[in-house]
């Protein structure tokens, strides 16, 4: 028993020593998160990144085109899929990138070609990987493939006039949403991990009811204000005609 304990201790120390002096591949990127903690992103090939995107697009249970909400849930699920479920648990380094207003009273306004009006986000976030030495964002809500940080940043803030009001920062893949950015996580808190399927189901149901920006009905929920496409009915611009939309009810 004593020898077994010694053997296990030696193996543990050998593992720690090997990782402490790990030789990182060329094109490894070192970034710092919101708390100035270091994040290491080892590179993958462009071919592998394209394969990852194809793999993610097959995950039909993820509501990629639900623009109104749920970016934090999509980001967590996609980060997990890339990091430890893709390629039979072969580890791929993933971080998160986020943009939010510096003042809580401000919002990010966003409008795409598929939207009849602008959405108002408190923040937007997405997974980020290292592709051949360049940081790339995997945001299948806004893009069809991985894109550079600048391209992603410009798209998120394309309807913004004063860029100085917003900040962009990185988080590790265990930071579930931007409101938790000041905390340090070494793993996803259990309350979020066990609830992930529930979060996704909730937003899938929302997506089914009122779509990426709008479904073809006014959503009515007892005791709550009417909504259309993630917006309160009172927030819909007057220029948009809702007279032809029928009423639907939450199931």
Phi, psi of 108, deg, nearest 5: -95, 125
What is the average pLDDT score of the chain?
78
pLDDT, greater one: 72 or 204? 72
Query: Any residues with CB less than 8 A from the CB of 14 and at least 6 apart, and which?
Result: none
Task: Choose the most confident range, by mean pLDDT, from 86-100, 166-180, 216-230.
Answer: 166-180
Give 85's pLDDT tier (boundaries 50, 70, 90): low
- CA count, 13 A, side-chain hemisphere, 96: 28
Q: Print burial letters for 158-175: b (CB count within 10 Å at least 16), e (below 16).
A: eebeeeeebeebbbbbbb
CA distances from 83 to 89, 225, 243 (A): 8, 39, 47
Of 144 and 205, more confident = 144
Residue 190 is predicted with a pLDDT of: 59
CATH number of 24-213: 3.10.620.30
Lowest mean pLDDT segment, chosen from 83-92, 139-148, 167-176, 218-227:
83-92
Q: Where in the chain is the domain with CATH 3.10.620.30?
A: 24-213
Mean pLDDT of 66-83: 85
| CA–CA separation, 189 and 173 (whole Å) | 11
7-46 burial, b at 16+ Cβ within 10 Å, e below that, comes to eeeeeeeeeeeeeeeeeeeeeebebebbeeeebebbbbee
Listed ranges 59-73, 75-89, 151-165; the one with the highest mean pLDDT: 151-165
How do residues 21-48 score in pLDDT, each as one tens digit?
Answer: 567 889 999 999 998 999 999 999 999 9
Task: Say what the pLDDT of residue 17 is.
Answer: 47
């Amino acid at each position: 028993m004593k020898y077994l304990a010694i053997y296990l201790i030696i193996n543990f120390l050998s593992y720690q020593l090997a990782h402490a002096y790990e030789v990182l591949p060329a094109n490894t990127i070192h970034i710092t998160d919101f708390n100035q903690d270091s994040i290491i992103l080892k590179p993958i090939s462009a071919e592998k990144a394209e394969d990852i995107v194809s793999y993610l697009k097959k995950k039909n249970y993820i509501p990629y085109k639900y623009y109104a909400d749920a970016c934090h849930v999509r980001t967590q699920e996609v980060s997990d899929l890339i990091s430890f479920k893709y390629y039979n648990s072969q580890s791929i380094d993933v971080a998160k990138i986020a943009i939010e207003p510096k003042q809580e009273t401000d919002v990010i306004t966003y409008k795409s070609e598929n939207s009849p009006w602008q959405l108002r986000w408190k923040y937007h976030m997405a997974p980020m990987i290292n592709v051949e030495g360049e940081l790339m964002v995997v945001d299948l809500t806004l893009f069809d493939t991985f894109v550079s940080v600048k391209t992603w940043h410009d798209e998120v803030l394309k309807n913004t006039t004063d860029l100085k009001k917003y900040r962009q920062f990185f988080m590790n893949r265990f930071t579930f949403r931007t409101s938790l950015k000041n905390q340090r996580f070494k793993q996803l808190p259990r309350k979020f991990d066990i609830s992930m399927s529930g979060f996704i189901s909730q937003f899938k149901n929302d997506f089914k009811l009122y779509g990426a920006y709008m479904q073809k009905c006014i959503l009515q929920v007892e005791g709550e204000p009417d909504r259309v496409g993630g917006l309160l009915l009172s927030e819909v611009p007057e220029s948009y005609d809702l007279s032809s939309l029928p009423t639907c009810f939450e199931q």
